[in-house]
Amino acid sequence: MGMMPSRLALLGPVRLTGPTESSMRRATQQRRTALLALIASAPGESISRDRLLGLLWPDRDERSARHLLADSLYVLRRSLGDGAIVVSGEMLRLTPEFVSTDVADFRVALAEERWSDALDVYCGDFLDGFIVRNAVEFDQWALTERTRMRGMATRAAVSLATRLEQTGRLSEAAAAAERALELAPCDETLFRNLIRLLTCVDNPARAEEVARSFIERLAFELGVSPSRETMRVVREARGPEDVERIVVETPPARRQIGARTVDSATASIIAQGRHHWHQRTRSAVERAITYFTRAVERDVRAIDAWCGLADCWIVMGGRGYAPIHVAIERGAASAERALAIDDTRSSTHASIGGLQILRRRWNDAESALRCAILIDPQNGDAHHWLALTLLTGFGARDAAIREQSIAAGLNPVSPIPVGALGWQRYLSGAYDLSRSSMEPALDLNADLEEGHAGLARIAARLGDERTVMRTIAAGLERHANRRGDLLAEQSSALAVLGDMRRARMYAFEAVNHRALPMNLALAWASLGEVDRALECLARESFLVYWAPQALWWDPRFDPIRDDARFARVHRRVKRQWSTEWS
């Protein structure tokens, strides 16, 4: 009979067990265990040598790092078996016949939708309490993986609860929903679902206990109150009878774990990162990520750098520079790191609010952003994101403009809040005021992607053809890669000005240069070409924040708004963005 395989447990306390305890002693050295964790958790179950060297020995030259890796592989093979780690070219993988892992079992259960089995395997956070000295890159990787796997476990619990509810097993569904809330203890959506299920199984006592604990947790850990929607669910669960009102005493001074002033060099790096972040172009935000990453490498408790990384990923997702799920995952990892260091910072809660915007949890976003503003009323970014929440999530245009005006006033030299105010004023029909915001925004950053198009569409509404043509020409000179979109903007502007012949010519040219579907739809709608406009809208993803706003309120769509097909698109996009307004 062959030797029993060793077992590597990474979910919860890290453990490596084998047939004999003595054979495992050298394998369980800290960096060797980290090496096993990296191989076991790699996508596709294999990882390159270069990746291992960069995460485990980043401060060593390549020759010495490769020697340390080879030595670790030798020791691990002696302990686990010669075939435990297979090398194919530059790639390494574990052999399950020699080493079984809970991570692999967890992944298989998820892939096969065996939600209950997956949750049985998930005994705790990935690499819980495991730290490698002098390996910041490994710690950051572990944090990202920890967040990702916890999210996978949470989704498994939600899926299990849904499946059990659909089959009428409501008590078991409530238990699964409670497991989901344990994994994401401040998630209001999960809390509301649990309260609903507890109400369905007629367990008001447990519902009241859970509600009390949840409200207290939000107050003590985040310093926020539940959203209006959450409190409505709590009130409905209590029923019409008089019950004891949940009162949460104001918590004592909130925790600041390890927050401190960074050194001047790190502060300078963070300031440079924030400067690039404010530009909002893809290349600028990517540069900002580089700066903020350097800052946390210098000082792992540089909270402003962690917030900066979170904010970068919020912008990357919100502007379509990165897939939404990737942006949420990476942004959440950084925001949670900031929250763990100091939960009293306005910037931390603003980052959490921004992530909730990406998740389209509008009530939760509003709650976090108002908390950020309560802590620091001068936080212009929080006002800016609150304006976006009010506009997109709740359709509250006047309230959004008020918040955006505050944001622009607090950051008058930042092109984004100033330009966003111009856009929101344009959507409300205040074209003179809109121009007074958009022109300064373009002056502040001539590379602002929406600057030239924004000013041209406003000038068209004011009958200023000269500014339209001059602005589009300047945009074409600076943004050759956006030629199609700028030509589409020129087409719709000329149509608004009444020059249909040239407008149609530029529309066809924009098609040839592969303009975005939304910009083409606006051009064709301005020309009254209903079928062409709707065909473009059918191809539009509506993933970028401004696209649904344009659909709902841009006056260029007015010529086709009465068409029943447009109304169907309108309703579809509202469902896609999970809006709270009708």
The answer, yes or no, to whether residue 248 has pLDDT greater than 50, is no
Query: Could you tell me if 466 and 577 lie in one domain?
Result: yes
Say if residue 114 is in the same domain as residue 18: yes
Q: Are residues 82 and 195 part of one domain?
A: no
Q: Is the pLDDT of residue 21 over 70?
A: no
Whether residue 115 is found in the same domain as residue 141: no
Instruction: Read off the amino acid at residue 205.
Output: A
Burial category of 196 from C-beta neighbours within 10 Å (exposed 0-12, middle 13-18, buried 19 and up) = middle
181-205 pLDDT per residue, tens: 999 888 888 999 999 999 999 999 9
> Each residue of 141-181: pLDDT tens digit?
887 788 889 989 999 999 999 999 999 999 999 999 999 99
In this structure, what CATH number is given to the domain that contains residue 162? 1.25.40.10
> Do 114 and 189 belong together in one domain?
no
Domain stop point among 213, 238, 263:
238
**Would you place residue 222 in the very low, low, confident or very high pLDDT band (cuts 50, 70, 90)?**
low
Check whether residue 161 and residue 211 sit in a common domain.
yes
- The answer to whether position 567 is within a domain reads yes
- Tell me: do 154 and 91 sit in the same domain: no
Mean pLDDT of the chain: 89
Residue 43 lies in a domain: yes
Residue 485 sits in the same domain as residue 554: yes
The reported pLDDT for the residue numbered 258 is 44
For residue 16, pLDDT over 80 is answered with yes
In this predicted structure, which of 53-57, 218-222, 231-235, 380-384 has the lowest mean pLDDT?
A: 218-222
How far is CA 396 from its chain centroid? 23
Same domain flag for 27 and 155: no
Write the DSSP string, 170-221. HHHHHHHHHHHHHHSTT-HHHHHHHHHHHHHTT-HHHHHHHHHHHHHHIIII
CA separation for the pair 536, 532 (Å, rounded) = 6
How does pLDDT run across 27-55, given as a tens digit for each residue? 778 889 999 999 999 877 789 999 999 88
pLDDT recorded at residue 221: 64
More confident residue, 225 or 489: 489
Q: CATH number of the domain that 90 lies in?
A: 1.10.10
- φ/ψ of 11, rounded to 5, equals -95, 100
- Amino acid residing at 113: E
Count of the separate structural domains present in the chain: 3
In a domain, 499, yes or no: yes
pLDDT digit string, tens, across residues 520-579: 999 999 999 999 999 999 999 999 889 999 999 999 999 999 999 999 999 999 999 998
Q: Is the pLDDT of residue 224 over 70?
A: no
pLDDT bin (cut points 50, 70, 90) of residue 251 is: very low
* pLDDT at 255 (0 to 100): 47
Which residues touch 480 (CB under 8 Å, ≥6 apart)? none
* Domain-embedded: residue 57: yes
pLDDT > 60? residue 302: yes
Alpha carbon distances (Å) from 58 to 139, 297, 450: 12, 11, 40
Q: Using the predicted structure, report yes or no on whether residue 316 has a pLDDT greater than 60.
A: yes
Average pLDDT over residues 269-297: 91
At residue 475, the pLDDT reads 92
pLDDT over 90 percentage in the chain = 64
State residue 250's pLDDT score.
44
Q: Is 204 within the bounds of a domain?
A: yes
Final residue of a domain: which of 219, 238, 257?
Answer: 238
Q: Which domain holds residue 51?
A: 6-121
**Whether the predicted pLDDT of 257 surpasses 60:** no
* Strands across the sheet containing 6-9: 15-17, 6-9, 99-101
**In 536-549, which positions are buried (b, 16+ CB within 10 angstroms) versus exposed (e)?**
bbeebebebbbbbb
pLDDT at 142: 85
* Domain boundary pick from 238, 273, 303: 238
**How far apart, in whole angstroms, are the C-alpha atoms of residue 139 and residue 78?**
27
Nearest alpha-carbon partner for 259 in 144, 331, 343, 330: 343
What 3-state DSSP class applies to 282?
Answer: helix
Q: Is residue 210 domain-shared with residue 106, that is, in the same domain?
A: no
